[in-house]
Amino acid sequence: MINKKRLVKTFNKLVRIDSLSLREANVVRYVQRELRRLGIRSTQVGRPSGGDTGSLLASLPGRGPTIMLNAHLDTVSPGKNIKPRERNGVIRSDGTTVLGADNKAGVAAILEVLRTIKRKKLAHPPLQIIFTVAEEIGLVGAKALPVKALKADYGFALDGGAINKILNQAPSQVNLTALIIGQAAHAGVHPEAGVNAIRVASEAIAKMKIGRIDRETTANIGVIKGGKATNIIPDEVEIRGEARSHDPAKLRRQVKQMTGQLRQACRRHGARLKLKTERLYRSFAVKPDSPVVQAVLAGMKKQRLTPLIKPSGGGSDANIFNAVGVPTVVLGVGARHLHTTQEELVVRAFVRGTELLLAIITGAHHG
């Protein structure tokens, strides 16, 4: 029932529209035009600080439980001037950029489902459609949405990979930013007068538990910046990292361990520390017997897919929707190697994932 040619054409159009985080105005205009052609009105809401547009919120009346459909409009870098190319049933970029299937594939799938529903006049439940901005930089767009506008009974966030996976859990994430302040000095004349901020940072990082901590917990130091020249003892270093866990107590312990090593290293060397920790989002866990998971299982049965219910290691807009009371799981639409220049979209899986979404929706119209 899904029009494969139209679906792929929409995806290729979408990825050619630059939409790095906080710069999604052009793709918002395109999606609004497509919705308008279907007779669906949409409004821009929750414009984040520094952004050029808000997220898109639309609805389609129907009968049954209200279902939310979500995909985010922004892409990661390098994401400008994307040139999609299809070969042997797989769409890739030219290798100089990401493809943008994360998450233009989700956007295209939702638009195609809406077109099919409208043009085939299919019975369906009430739909709330949310296309968010600035997801890739900490779910900023979803956080900026007015909570009172989110009224669905449950929802689906289309974001990523294998179409038979139901991601029903995701961790909390805490970001850490530390500025270590030492003392500058001439490295060749009187190095003993300096306090080397890079050394302090290195010692702290070397004693941190990072990587895979356990089945539920991960941690990383991803950015380190500092130093001016080889002949100057560096007086400032900034490091940025994160910790994630499905278990709140484990997350607290992990953050305490990382920040503790920073404090100890600074005390040993007489450096000062400016430290900031920020919770980006909270974990969620949707039970397998919940209505939202059962709706997906029913759709997968129709599509003859073998379901795999599993936790995710990353965050998504689903974290925000669950936190405000809309049970939401994450579904894939065939994208692979996300956030890399090797990103690709398997067309067959893309079509089947879109058909699955349609099957879920039409199967829920009776309530």
Active site (catalytic) residues: 74, 135
Residues 6+ away with beta carbon under 8 Å from 314: 170, 171, 244
| Whole-angstrom distance, CA of residue 147 vs CA of residue 160 | 25
Which tokens sit at 168?
Answer: 């029903």
Residue of 35, 240, 31 lying closest to 133 (CA atoms): 31
Q: Where do we find the tokens 């009968």?
A: 63
> CA-CA distances (angstroms) from residue 98 to 26, 93, 340?
18, 6, 6
- Please provide the DSSP assignment of 164-206 as one string: TEEEEEE-EEEEEEEEEE-B--BTTT-GGG-B-HHHHHHHHHH
* Helix residue spans in the chain (DSSP H): 4-15, 25-37, 101-120, 140-143, 197-206, 248-269, 291-302, 317-323, 347-363
Residue 39: alpha-carbon gap to chain centroid: 29
